Amino acid sequence: MAVEIAGADIVRAAAMLGAGIAMGIGAFGPGLGEGIAAAKAGEAIGRNPREAGLLTRTMLVGQAVAESTGIYSLVVALLLIFVV
């Protein structure tokens, strides 16, 4: 007995697949960006340990800003899962 696959199931499956791809590829950019920010911050602290506090704060802000594209892909993925 062939299983009936309605159009809605295909849409639902595509949405889930899209959410996975969105989040997967979306995680690539922030990882790279935050890694570079942390590396540069590490070097800067190595050169000037007295400014470690300010450098750490600036690094955290920079990483949070670099993370925003990943968060946008997360929002898209959540929309695909819960809204479509």
Contact set with another protein (CB under 8 A): 60-61, 64-65, 67-68, 71-72, 74-75, 78, 82-83
* Whether the Cβ atoms of residue 46 and residue 21 lie closer than 8 Å to each other: no
CB of 74 to another protein, least distance (A): 5
Of 55 and 67, which has the nearer Cβ to another protein?
67
- Return phi, psi of residue 76, to 5°: -60, -45
CB of 63 to another protein, least distance (A): 8
- Return phi, psi of residue 4, to 5°: -80, 120
